[in-house]
Amino acid sequence: MDRGTIRQRGVAVLFGLVALLIVITHAFAPISIQPDAAFDDGLFLTLARRFANGNWFGTYYFLTLHKGNGYSIFLALGSWLGLPVSLAHGLFHAAACLTFAAVIRRVTGSTALGIAVLLALAMVPVLAMASGLRVLRDAIYSGQTLFLFAAVIWLLFRGRAPDMAGRGIGAGALLGWLWLTREEGLWVLPTLALLFLAFPLVRTGADGGARAPARLAATGLALVWFGLGFALVFGAYSGINRLAYGSWTTVAIKEASFERALGALYSVEDGDRVAYVPVSRATRMRIYAVSPAFAALKPYLDPPGAPLWVNGCPHYATGCDDMAGGWFHVAFLFAVKGLGQHETLEQAKAYYRRVADEVEAACTDGRLTCRRMLSNAVPRLAPDFVETLPRRIIGALRKVTMIDWGPVSGGPSTGTPVEIAEALTFLNRPPMVPTLEQMQKVVLEAQFIGPDATPLVMRLVDAAGAAIPATLEPLPPPPGRPGPPPPGEQLLRITATCPLAACWIDVTQKDRQITRLRLWDLMSAGSRVRTPEGSFRISKMLVDGAGTLGDVRYRTSQMIRSGLAAAMPFVLPPLAAIGVLACLVGLVLAALARRLPFSLLIALSLGLGVVTRLTILILGDAAGLPIADAYVMPACFLTAVSAPLALYGCWSAARALKARRAGVI
């Protein structure tokens, strides 16, 4: 066996091991199942079950097409294949990382760069942390992004090779699927545009030796096939919706009449202008007076008593007694449904047009004072947007580099026992965080070894620190132990009934806390804690009579996730800074060498994707839609992978400049 074959097999083994670790990390990270989240997890589950039954998305109701259904299709396919959803998420993400790294390796010819790219993607743990451990479309959106960019890079690199049509249609289909998964797909267009527009400057790939007009023609033809693939997916989805629901609409939240009605409401300046509240209560009262269609919604938008839809309160002070920007459009949708005007999509569209017509007419004849925005879908930005922009940018950068990120473990599941049982069956029983209401009998046996013989105080408490009734008893040394017990050993048993996700074991000695551990975390995080006071270890944990302590699969997943989450705030920021610097230096070197390395173009394109996505999120936050960790996840992966690409591109540009000065090129 020659050296090249050994090297190839070694690389394949390394890629396989990294992929296996990605799968283990995701598959054995317990997820939070929330079938009662009617607008999020519950919606995707409902539509996925309908799709899995072969009935498209079932009988139309007002949320059927409100969000993109790309993730519901993914859930249905996973259910058909018998894959637990956490395993399906892990396999999909591992495949996306492997595909992207393999494409980079092929187009650059550098095995080292391919490995670096794969490791950069694998070290970002956001999908296996709390923000990604739910049944939400964000669990696959980053993988979809990687698949899309890998397909486009491969399409351009292969040029006019015989399989161009298949590559182009496949890449376009991936864009169509991504477009039908989330509503803000526009953010990928600048990256795609830069790749297509600048690739003719790259003298590499199947057409690298051709003259400039030929390279332009090949890129143009690739773009045609790419557009055709997108059109086929988009057209097929729209056509089936037309047959099933009488409408060509793909995502109702982006439908023209809905956005037009929102734009008309957002444009009204009469009444109070409240930061992060697009249509304040005082403004709504003015609109009720001139729009009978909107006035009919008053019982649903402004009923007597406590205000509705104050979900924005944790994020914006002004959202505590009114509807913040991220929730007003949902309240508007539910109000139209409550009025009985959303039995079909066409009926709802007609009502949205009526609201828009009446408000726009009042704006035109002066009954309302209005100022249109650039986009109907975006509420007015906060008045202090310019002053707070630096702070918002810093906040977004802290998120994309994981300096500010949420917890590692998923939150408790929610829903009735019947809802959760149905969801578990459909999702093929993935590891799940229990609900706060799921009471279980717990028996813990613990060992403490320390120099101080003062008895331990071991109790069970809830999240607020209040004691939970429990029975505590000392244990005798285990029979058959060889030799005397360790000095200072204490053996204890505590028995109680409590929900594992909301029950902590609190251990103190002489009023000093030795440790505090959530019972649910003991199943995955290990059971030994070393402190200055000594070593504390949970030796046995029985839940409803079954031993559950320290499953090695859960412990491995938790160890990887916790370690990466702790390391990323120290790794990603300098990596991102190095990537930006390498891009700038590489651009200068490429200009001097008059040759643009493909790896540098890819790094610049992915960096542009990060900037575009963060810009959209910052604008959304200024309009009343807070930046959630889940929204930033695609940018985290692009940030991590751009750095090695930029460094390699900078090095390639330096080599090209050296060759040019030596007269080689």
DSSP 379-436: PPPPTTHHHHHHHHHHHHHHHHTTSS---SSPPPB-S-HHHHHHHHHHTT---BPPBT
CB under 8 Å to 584, separation ≥6 — which residues? none
Structural domain includes residue 352: yes
Q: What is the pLDDT of residue 161?
A: 83
Instruction: Say if residue 568 is in the same domain as residue 627.
Output: yes
Work out the end-to-end distance of the chain between its first and last CA atoms, rounded to an integer number of angstroms.
37
CA distance 376 to 55: 34
Structural domain includes residue 422: no
CA distance 552 to 545: 20
CA distance 208 to 221: 15
List of the chain residues with pLDDT < 70: 1, 205-210, 306-307, 376, 483, 523-527, 548-550, 664-665
Instruction: Say if residue 614 is in the same domain as residue 465.
Output: no
| 272, two tokens | 């109070």
CA distance 152 to 173: 11
Task: Specify whether the CB–CB gap between 311 and 319 falls below 8 A.
Answer: yes
- In the chain, the number of structural domains is 3
Instruction: Say if residue 457 is in the same domain as residue 584.
Output: no
Helix (H, G, I), strand (E, B) or coil at 242: helix
DSSP 306-371: SPS--TTTTT-GGGGSS--HHHHHHHHHHHHHHTT--SSHHHHHHHHHHHHHHHHHHHHTTSS-B-
Provide the domain limits for residue 535: 438-549
Structural domain includes residue 398: no
CB under 8 Å to 150, separation ≥6 — which residues? 96, 99, 100, 103, 104
Q: What is the pLDDT of residue 525?
A: 60
Helix (H, G, I), strand (E, B) or coil at 603: helix
Instruction: Say if residue 506 is in the same domain as residue 608.
Output: no
Structural domain includes residue 3: no
Instruction: Say if residue 293 is in the same domain as residue 356.
Output: yes
Task: Specify whether the CB–CB gap between 662 and 603 falls below 8 A.
Answer: no
CA distance 515 to 504: 10
Single out the residue in 503, 525, 549 at which a domain terminates: 549
pTM of the model: 0.92
Instruction: Say if residue 486 is in the same domain as residue 359.
Output: no
Single out the residue in 519, 549, 579 at which a domain terminates: 549
Alpha-carbon dihedral angle through residues 242, 247, 249, 254, given to the nearest 10 degrees: -170
Which whole-number Å values give the CA distances from 639 to 376, 606, 607, in the listed order? 31, 8, 7
CA distance 151 to 170: 8
Nearest to 540 by CA among 433, 633, 401, 447: 447
Structural domain includes residue 410: no
Q: What is the pLDDT of residue 208?
A: 57
What's the pLDDT tens digit per position in 254-303? 899 999 999 999 999 998 888 999 999 999 999 999 999 999 999 999 98
| 428, two tokens | 């093929």
Q: What is the pLDDT of residue 210?
A: 66
Residue type, 204: T
Single out the residue in 489, 515, 549 at which a domain terminates: 549
- Domain at 479, CATH number: 2.60.40
CA distance 132 to 129: 6
Helix (H, G, I), strand (E, B) or coil at 514: strand
Structural domain includes residue 605: yes
Q: Which residue has the tokens 């709802």?
A: 348
Give me the helices (H) in 110-211, please. 111-122, 138-158, 164-179, 189-198
Structural domain includes residue 252: no
Instruction: Say if residue 278 is in the same domain as residue 163.
Output: no
Instruction: Say if residue 366 is in the same domain as residue 447.
Output: no
| 269, two tokens | 């300046």
Q: What is the pLDDT of residue 664?
A: 62
Instruction: Say if residue 454 is in the same domain as residue 375.
Output: no
Instruction: Say if residue 469 is in the same domain as residue 487.
Output: yes
Task: Specify whether the CB–CB gap between 525 and 472 falls below 8 A.
Answer: no
Instruction: Say if residue 499 is in the same domain as residue 588.
Output: no
Q: What is the pLDDT of residue 608?
A: 98
Instruction: Say if residue 464 is in the same domain as residue 565.
Output: no
Structural domain includes residue 170: yes
Q: What is the pLDDT of residue 233?
A: 97
Task: Specify whether the CB–CB gap between 168 and 155 falls below 8 A.
Answer: yes
